[in-house]
Chains A and B, each alone.
Chain A
């Protein structure tokens, strides 16, 4: 999630250079955020079929877990069904509910409701902010892999002002150097990444990275992808493959690629693996295997951040899930119950 810090920087920079250019030089110091949700991280819980999703907040020192924070702060607002993901800018958190085609915009530190965007989406998935616009991927029809699109949201009016046809699957999305990078794969079905120019709204490049693409990470000015039997590093300046590593047959199914302090992390079965980027072979020994009495929702969410490994387990998807936090040696530091179907972590620092 360092990426968000980077992104914040871009946003701050753009604000500085556009609207604040005439101000004094006081803006160099970040204001200290104020609110109940400053020193911790959010867990996005998809919620039950037909019901409402929820957001949980856990303090970084694990002193407190608060479930249902969105509904508690905003009792009259509707988060929507199947909360899929969240994304941020400097002040705001954008919560995507793909069962209801909704985005709720809240203050990222107080969670106070700002706006709801309820038109212009069809099964929205992930989003990113770039130059005071938000770009949100949509799967649209499940029967078509060519109708997926990106909704372009004006962040002053909170309206979808246009859409970009991806002509491919559109799932995870990142911003780099003024361009959008879109994962053309959802549910491990897809094999490429697209580079989109937001001003021309055209797909500029498409690069193949192996079938069964399941993760895409932007770090160190490079893009790393994990597919069913291939790990790839994409040079973002040339948008070409820097290197690939074949995954041996017996380790196919590796998922949840993450990069933390130049170490690569991934999961396979119920185990977490790591190695340095330079030595990566996908034949590593597991750091730890994660035991659970919940059978099914293993690694529904996974993140590595601040020397900790975060796992969410959705259990049977018919009762609340759990979050487990480990240190990098695989020792359990903390566990707690969160909402139904926890699928991801979002760090607020």
Chain B
């Protein structure tokens, strides 16, 4: 039965494509007057693809970034249950090898080296850019598999806009966000608050109980300000506070019930000076990351807490003319960590990078860059990247990129417990990718092949006293292909949009030849959206292939492949001040039983209702 519905949807999808493939649509993008801070990303992505999810996509998707990116990209997520720790992995790499970049600065945890996508709730964020592949030359550690960029945008448009949205649904899940954008003359403000709570006690399929100890609340507040001092000087300030409070789901009622609280404060000041072909940018940032782990919720006062602080200064000088772009980058970064589980220590890093891009002619652009880091705690290799974009025709572009990237040992790796793991090396990777991009009017298609050669992967293993410690033990190769395609069509009051991703990923231990655990060979997503006058409907399909849960790929220890479909619709009650939309979504329409990580069941069918107001 489920299979039938799935086929019908697929058929419907194909039918739409063939019927409307001839019609044109001019996508108009209005980009002026918008201030963004992460300009290196767009200036230096030669040879690599860049995927964008803009604010309308963010608004119509659920609050947590896991679902948003999981449904819309080829990135694979390992979720330890709904709302629990969720780690992304690009191209068969790990969460520590995925850089999370907020307005140009790397915000991966100093403790575990990864971004937990269920705690990245940012009410002022308006765009997410996703760059698969290496980016360590610009973003430093972790940009091996790819980087995910959370971007704020400030507008100098002399306008004021309020945005309020509430989602309420199954398991008493409530997400409320408010955003105010206000611009007067030379000032622009963007303020946002968001709260996301859930009892998260969904019934577990094929069992007589509900999810235990899954309750969470996430709270976030953000303020971004830009001030145009004069035509040459611009000051910007970004700040973001996140407070999360999660119980950690357990499998059995008798399991010890733990809770986790985290508090992340991120702030960034930027001074930009532009004069003719020169641009100088000084960034100063402060990141404060604190977590509290309550081992047993029946003993609230028995907890461990740890704190990491990062101070960073980045200076970047750029020269740009029609043919050339040169950038020099100096990055000084001091991080300190201390707490109940860590020996107190600090890490100082200075990094120097030089980037050059040359537009040889209208068809060919080349880019080269180098980075060297110096640190008190580890030796870093020289990192490089080389890229080329070649427009074979107006419709067909080829991209080529090769780079060396790394991820440094984190504070947990180095200082957890009573022993210092001083001999740890950074994980390093060489990689190459080759992409083909075709765009025909309102249809686009891209196929990218990649290869990653990763050495010194850090793994935690027990030592002779059964105390777990990190070691540089794994050598891994990952390779595969990514396909993205999309189509948009507009006809009178009808609008149709479709996009799909397919990722084929081999990620194998070079010594044993076994596929890494929890890396699916196949992942497919497809989304179809249709709107007509005040009505809009959309559906998303995600298929994740079987994964191994054992390092020797034991056939009896796998997590089965699953396919999910979500369906939603919206209706516009009022179209002008205020603009009011109401909508509803069904997740996991076919009530499919699935889990992302061994023994971590995920919810079956559930519902959400949405109300949004723009004034």
Q: Interface of A with B (CB < 8 Å)?
A: 48, 50-52, 78, 80-81, 99-102, 118-119, 121-123, 141-144, 187-188, 214, 253, 255, 295-300, 314, 316-320, 340
Contact = CB atoms under 8 A, between A and B. Distances in A.
Contact of A255 (B462, B464, B597): B464
A81 B461 contact: no
Given A99-B255, A102-B254, A319 B550 contact: yes
17 contacts: A50-B251, A50-B599, A52-B599, A78-B252, A100-B252, A101-B256, A102-B252, A118-B253, A119-B254, A122-B296, A143-B302, A143-B304, A214-B465, A318-B551, A319-B550, A320-B552, A340-B550
A200 B552 CA distance: 51
B462 A188 contact: no
Most chain-B CB neighbours within 10 Å: which of A101, A142, A319? A319
A123 B256 CA distance: 8
Contact of B465 (A118, A119, A187, A298): A187
Given A48-B549, A318-B551, 5 more contacts: A51-B549, A51-B599, A119-B254, A144-B302, A316-B459
Contacts of B256: 101, 122-123
A50 B461 contact: no
Nearest to B598: A51
B31 interface: no
A18 B45 CA distance: 83
B554 A319 contact: yes
A81 B251 contact: yes
Nearest to A101: B254
Interface residues of B, number: 32
Contacts of B493: none
A286 to B, nearest CB: 16
B416 to A, nearest CB: 13
B600 interface: yes
A106 B252 CA distance: 20
Given A51-B598, A100-B252, A296-B461, A143 B340 contact: yes
Nearest to A50: B599
Given A187-B467, A296-B461, A141 B299 contact: yes
B595 to A, nearest CB: 10
B517 interface: yes
Contacts of B456: none
B255 A81 contact: yes
A190 to B, nearest CB: 12
B360 interface: no
B465 to A, nearest CB: 5
B12 interface: no
Contacts of A314: 462
Interface in B551-575: 551-552, 554
A118 B464 contact: no
Nearest to A268: B464
Contacts of A143: 295, 302-304, 340
B334 to A, nearest CB: 29
A318 B466 contact: no
Interface string B511-555: 000000100000000000000000000000000000001111010
A184 B255 CA distance: 24
A328 B251 CA distance: 43
Given A50-B598, A52-B599, A141-B299, A80 B252 contact: yes
B465 A317 contact: no
B23 interface: no
A317 B550 contact: no
A316 B599 contact: no
A255 B466 CA distance: 12
Interface in B461-509: 461-462, 464-467, 473
A50 B550 contact: no
A214 B466 CA distance: 11
B254 A100 contact: yes
Given A50-B599, A51-B598, A318 B550 contact: yes
Contacts of B467: 187
Interface string B222-255: 0000000000000000000000000000011111
Nearest to B460: A317
A320 B600 CA distance: 20
Interface string B279-305: 000000000000000011001001110
Given A50-B598, A51-B599, A143-B302, A188 B254 contact: no
Contacts of A100: 251-252, 254-255
Contacts of A81: 251-252, 255, 599
B511 to A, nearest CB: 10
A200 B517 CA distance: 51
Contacts of B462: 296-297, 314, 317
B299 A188 contact: no
A100 B251 CA distance: 8
A46 to B, nearest CB: 10
Contacts of A122: 256, 296
A317 B466 CA distance: 11
A80 B465 CA distance: 24
Nearest to A78: B252
Nearest to A123: B256
Contacts of A299: 464
B8 to A, nearest CB: 37
B158 to A, nearest CB: 54
Contacts of B465: 187-188, 214
A50 B252 CA distance: 10
A101 B599 contact: no
A141 B598 contact: no
Given A101-B256, A319-B550, A141 B517 contact: no
A187 B466 contact: yes
B302 A141 contact: yes
Contacts of B549: 48, 51
Contacts of B600: 50
Contacts of A316: 459, 461, 551
A241 to B, nearest CB: 24
Most chain-A CB neighbours within 10 Å: which of B253, B464, B554? B464
A51 B551 CA distance: 15
**Those 8 A-B pairs whose CB atoms lie nearest each other, nearest first:** A319-B552, A318-B551, A118-B254, A319-B550, A296-B461, A319-B551, A188-B465, A101-B254
